[in-house]
């Protein structure tokens, strides 16, 4: 009577167990040394030998010459166990007997001693199918069974078993059987069955088994029938519905020759298969090519092919059209041939250099170093040359972008930020902002940085420079209007130094009163056209004041006698005293004459200043 190969060649001893050497060795040593547990758990892939191992272990326990790892197979216990009629080896399918009543019946049987053998052994297959109540009912018996009871649990889904069950058993994990081991076992079976088979066909069957020996033996039965007793790759590929390796060989050979017509002709043939299976077979074919040292495809080209297959597989997960994915894959692979490898480009360039076909620029003698320039001139020259005119044009474009976002922010940026250089992807500028303008620039730094990367490129670093103390230069042309100077505060420094400017207060303050009349004061050398020296202390915009100038408290009273005397004796900028006004101007007239004064007063919220004692 015909028997399926999976049943006919089921292993009967641990030595016949395929692909599970570590497990068979551990169980054999446990039997030979007598270190036996009361409960075992076998988990792993279907068809990997779990149930077969449980039956071999049970037969070894009850053999008349046992417990032994090599049962005799001749005694009554061995023959009964092999035929499945042993009274003390009880197999239960947990998929069909999963209720708590079934577990209660099993627990009831554990109370009776074995009838034939040495142990009463319960083999529970697919134990993960039991209900929660069944697990709870089995716990105590599984933890402390009678000495003559052994439990062997088998499952394909160990993650669905409660930890309380796992902690009470010895867990053995059955691994996937390697493809080479499966192929060798199939060849052994074919030789015993006197059937011829090609190794390539057996490899296709073993690969389709996915590590399961029972699945591979089932497919081998089917292939023997389909091929009429002679297995070859073409017939096995047709039976399994997979690609013939010869078709893939023709496909990649046509790509190597650059014959697009033949490539698309084979592609039409491949559309008759499942797209996912075609991509998988291409990957397996390329993996075999990768292992071949004489393969015509280079390693960079194979790397590009694998990337193309990975991208195409991701398209399938997006429910893309199968025909479109295959066509796109073929086109990408054809384009990959046009990219020369890096090694080829380097070798070509070296050959051209050594052969002299590539002209080499003659060496140019460097000019002798010039005499050192003064610091101010050298800094100006470096600022003009670093980055070039194009970098300055980009900086002007950056200013316009900031103006487009906020006019006040753009005015503040243009007034106080000076372009220095742009080298090595670093934008260097000089900042003289202070007070409210400095705070406005700080709050908008993220936007400014985004504009810098948009204009100069992503990854551009900003390297700000502070204006050193005492090195402030004259205002930019945008600030050409003269700014009113401030009178010295009471108890101020000696008159030989320039009186500091008053910082802008955080909030608007009330109008300031003018001090008593005083003699004209000299203007600083860096100031713009002179302003009346005896004018009232006017609050200056914090945005236009250099950062290096130290803020002082706004004047609230007339200057002291010593300061007044020093101011009277100080010479004017043109070595002549300023003429006295014929009439006292009003605050509105001063704002009309000095527009910057009007802007400052509006910014600080100053509506009126008493200028009755101010000279022209």
Three-state SS across 9-74? CCCCCHHHCCCCHHHHHHHHHHHHHCCCCCEEEEEECCCCCHHHHHHHHHHHHHCCCCCCCCCCCC
What distance in Å separates the CA atoms of residue 414 and residue 404, rounded to the nearest whole number? 13
Q: Are residues 445 and 500 in the same domain?
A: no
Do residues 24 and 53 touch, judged by C-beta distance below 8 A?
yes
HEC sequence for 402-467: HHHHCHHHHHHHHHHEEEEEEECCEEEEEECCCHHHHHHHHHCHHHHHHHHHHHHCCCCEEEEEEC
Residue 155 falls inside a structural domain: yes
Decide if pLDDT at 504 tops 70: no
Q: Are residues 224 and 251 in the same domain?
A: no
**Hey, what are 359's tokens?**
């002209």
Decide if pLDDT at 326 tops 80: yes
For residue 429, the model assigns a pLDDT of 87
Buried b (16+ CB within 10 A) or exposed e, 10-21: bbbebeebbbbe
Decide if pLDDT at 304 tops 80: yes
What is the helix (H) or strand (E) element at residue 570, kind and residue range? none
Average pLDDT over residues 258-274: 88
Say which residue, 204 or 569, is predicted with more confidence. Answer: 204
Last residue of a domain, one of 406, 437, 466: 466
Strand order in the sheet with 461-466: 417-423, 426-431, 461-466
Decide if pLDDT at 28 tops 60: yes
Place of tokens 């950056």: 398
Q: Are residues 610 and 497 in the same domain?
A: yes
Q: Are residues 441 and 531 in the same domain?
A: no
For residue 615, the model assigns a pLDDT of 44
Average pLDDT over residues 502-529: 42
Task: Measure Cα distances from 275 to 22, 326, 434 in Å.
Answer: 39, 7, 67
Decide if pLDDT at 355 tops 70: yes
Q: Are residues 29 and 127 in the same domain?
A: yes
What distance in Å separates the CA atoms of residue 233 and residue 12, rounded to the nearest whole number? 32
Do residues 240 and 280 touch, judged by C-beta distance below 8 A?
no
For residue 91, the model assigns a pLDDT of 93
Decide if pLDDT at 32 tops 60: yes
Q: What's the distance, Cα to Cα, between the start and end of the chain in Å?
A: 130
- Among the residue ranges 44-48, 457-461, 481-485, the one predicted with the least confidence is 481-485
Buried b (16+ CB within 10 A) or exposed e, 196-235: ebbebbbbbbbbbbebbbbbbbbbbbebbeebeeebebeb
* Rg over CA atoms, the chain: 47
Closest Cα to residue 523, out of 532, 512, 514?
532
Decide if pLDDT at 558 tops 50: no
Read off the pLDDT band of 539 (50, 70, 90): very low
- Four-CA torsion 226, 231, 232, 234, nearest 10 degrees: 10
Last residue of a domain, one of 215, 240, 265: 240
Angle of the 275-291 helix axis to the 322-336 helix axis, nearest 10: 30
Buried b (16+ CB within 10 A) or exposed e, 579-589: eeeeeebebee
Stated pTM of the model: 0.53
For residue 61, the model assigns a pLDDT of 93
Residue 612 falls inside a structural domain: yes
Buried b (16+ CB within 10 A) or exposed e, 105-119: ebbeebeeebeebbb
What distance in Å separates the CA atoms of residue 227 and residue 531, rounded to the nearest whole number? 111
What distance in Å separates the CA atoms of residue 472 and residue 498, rounded to the nearest whole number? 13
What mean pLDDT value characterizes the chain? 76
Question: What residue numbers bound the domain in which 294 lies?
Answer: 245-336
The enclosing domain of 422 has a CATH number of 3.30.300
Report percent pLDDT > 90 for the chain: 30
Residue 366 falls inside a structural domain: no
Say which residue, 549 or 290, is predicted with more confidence. Answer: 290
Collapsing DSSP to helix, strand or coil, 188 comes out as helix
Read off the pLDDT band of 126 (50, 70, 90): very high
The enclosing domain of 19 has a CATH number of 3.40.50.300
Read off the pLDDT band of 385 (50, 70, 90): very low
Within 13 Å of residue 281, how many CA atoms lie on the same side as its CB?
24
Residue 538 falls inside a structural domain: yes
Neighbours of 575 (CB within 10 A): 7
Q: Are residues 37 and 162 in the same domain?
A: yes
Domain count across the chain:
5
What is the helix (H) or strand (E) element at residue 230, kind and residue range? strand 230-231
Return all residues near 147 (Cβ < 8 A) that are at least 6 apart: none
Closest Cα to residue 111, out of 67, 85, 141?
141
Closest Cα to residue 146, out of 113, 181, 190, 98?
113
- Among the residue ranges 71-85, 188-202, 442-456, 501-515, the one predicted with the least confidence is 501-515
Read off the pLDDT band of 271 (50, 70, 90): confident
Q: Are residues 61 and 193 in the same domain?
A: no
For residue 466, the model assigns a pLDDT of 67
Q: Are residues 275 and 307 in the same domain?
A: yes
For residue 439, the model assigns a pLDDT of 86
Q: Are residues 164 and 210 in the same domain?
A: no
Place of tokens 């480009």: 345
Average pLDDT over residues 1-11: 87
Residue 365 falls inside a structural domain: no
**Hey, what are 259's tokens?**
């014959």
Decide if pLDDT at 321 tops 50: yes
Last residue of a domain, one of 240, 256, 277: 240
Residue 322 falls inside a structural domain: yes
Q: Are residues 406 and 501 in the same domain?
A: no
Decide if pLDDT at 526 tops 50: no
Q: Are residues 153 and 286 in the same domain?
A: no
Decide if pLDDT at 343 tops 80: no
Decide if pLDDT at 316 tops 60: yes
Do residues 175 and 144 touch, judged by C-beta distance below 8 A?
no
Residue 430 falls inside a structural domain: yes
Q: Beta strand pairing status for 89-93 and 120-125?
A: parallel
Q: Are residues 145 and 271 in the same domain?
A: no
Q: Beta strand pairing status for 461-466 and 417-423?
A: unpaired
The enclosing domain of 221 has a CATH number of 1.10.8.60
Read off the pLDDT band of 380 (50, 70, 90): very low
Q: Beta strand pairing status for 149-155 and 89-93?
A: unpaired
What is the helix (H) or strand (E) element at residue 372, kind and residue range? none
DSSP string, 293-336: TT-SS-HHHHHHHHHHHHHHHHHHHTT--HHHHHHHHHHHHHHH
Do residues 125 and 93 touch, judged by C-beta distance below 8 A?
yes
Please give the backbone phi and psi of residue 609, each rounded to the nearest 5 degrees, phi first. -135, 135
Read off the pLDDT band of 213 (50, 70, 90): very high
Do residues 242 and 219 touch, judged by C-beta distance below 8 A?
no
Q: Beta strand pairing status for 196-197 and 230-231?
A: parallel
Decide if pLDDT at 337 tops 90: no
For residue 166, the model assigns a pLDDT of 93
Quote the distance between the C-alpha of residue 120 and its chain's center: 57
Residue 357 falls inside a structural domain: no
What distance in Å separates the CA atoms of residue 335 and residue 520, rounded to the nearest whole number? 83
Quote the distance between the C-alpha of residue 353 and its chain's center: 41
Helix ranges (DSSP H) in 241-387: 245-257, 260-270, 275-291, 299-317, 322-336, 342-355, 375-385
Q: Positive or negative CA dihedral for 557, 563, 565, 568? A: negative
């Amino acid at each position: 009577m015909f028997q399926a190969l999976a049943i006919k060649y089921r292993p009967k001893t641990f030595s016949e167990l395929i692909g599970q050497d570590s497990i068979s060795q551990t169980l054999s040593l446990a039997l030979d040394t007598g270190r036996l547990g009361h409960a075992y758990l076998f988990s792993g892939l279907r068809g990997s030998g779990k149930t077969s191992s449980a039956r071999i272990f049970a037969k070894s326990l009850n053999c008349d010459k046992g417990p032994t790892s090599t049962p005799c197979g001749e005694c009554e216990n061995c023959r009964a166990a092999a035929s499945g009629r042993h009274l003390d080896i009880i197999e239960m399918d947990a998929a069909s007997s999963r209720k708590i009543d079934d577990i209660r019946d099993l627990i009831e049987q554990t109370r009776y001693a074995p009838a034939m053998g040495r142990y009463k052994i319960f083999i529970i297959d697919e134990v993960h199918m039991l209900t929660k109540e069944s697990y709870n009912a089995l716990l105590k018996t599984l933890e402390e069974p009678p000495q003559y009871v052994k439990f062997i649990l088998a499952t394909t889904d160990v993650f669905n078993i409660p930890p309380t069950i796992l902690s009470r058993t010895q867990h053995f994990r059955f691994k996937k059987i390697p493809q080479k081991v499966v192929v060798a076992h199939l060849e052994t079976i074919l030789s015993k069955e006197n059937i011829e088979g090609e190794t390539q066909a057996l490899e296709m069957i073993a690969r389709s088994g996915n590590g399961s020996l029972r699945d591979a033996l089932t497919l081998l039965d089917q292939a023997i029938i389909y091929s009429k007793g002679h297995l070859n790759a073409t017939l096995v590929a047709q039976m399994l519905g997979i690609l013939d390796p010869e078709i893939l060989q023709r496909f990649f050979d046509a790509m190597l020759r650059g014959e697009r017509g033949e490539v698309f002709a084979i592609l039409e043939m491949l559309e008759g298969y499942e797209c996912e299976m075609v991509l998988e077979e291409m990957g397996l074919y390329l993996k075999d090519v990768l292992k071949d040292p004489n393969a015509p495809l280079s390693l960079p080209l194979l790397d590009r092919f694998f990337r193309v297959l990975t991208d195409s597989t991701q398209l399938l997960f997006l429910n893309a059209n199968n025909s479109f994915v295959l066509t796109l894959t073929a086109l990408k692979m054809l384009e990959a041939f046009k990219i020369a490898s890096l090694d080829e480009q380097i070798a070509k360039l070296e050959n051209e250099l050594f052969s002299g076909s590539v002209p080499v620029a003659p060496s140019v003698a460097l000019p002798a170093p010039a005499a050192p320039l003064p610091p101010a001139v050298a800094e100006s020259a470096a600022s003009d040359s670093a980055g070039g005119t194009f970098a300055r044009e980009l900086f002007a474009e950056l200013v316009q972008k900031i103006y487009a976002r906020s006019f006040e922010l753009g005015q503040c940026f243009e007034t106080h930020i000076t372009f220095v250089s742009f080298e090595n992807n670093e934008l260097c500028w000089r900042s003289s902002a202070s007070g409210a303008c400095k705070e406005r620039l700080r709050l908008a730094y993220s936007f400014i940085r985004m504009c810098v990367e948009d204009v100069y490129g992503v990854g551009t670093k900003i390297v700000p420079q502070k204006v050193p103390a005492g090195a402030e230069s004259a205002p930019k042309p945008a600030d050409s209007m003269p700014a009113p100077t401030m009178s010295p505060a009471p108890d101020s420094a000696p008159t030989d130094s320039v009186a500091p400017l008053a910082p802008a207060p955080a909030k608007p303050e009330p109008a300031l009163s003018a001090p008593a009349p005083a003699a004209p004061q000299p203007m600083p050398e860096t100031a713009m056209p002179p302003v009346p020296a005896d004018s009232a202390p006017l609050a200056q915009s914090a945005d236009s004041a250099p950062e290096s100038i130290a803020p002082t408290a706004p004047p609230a009273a007339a200057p002291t006698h010593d300061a007044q005397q020093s101011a009277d004796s100080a010479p004017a900028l043109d070595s002549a005293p300023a003429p006295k006004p014929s009439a006292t101007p009003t605050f509105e007239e001063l704002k009309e004459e000095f527009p910057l004064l009007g802007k400052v007063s509006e910014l600080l919220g100053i509506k009126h200043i008493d200028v009755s004692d101010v000279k022209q």
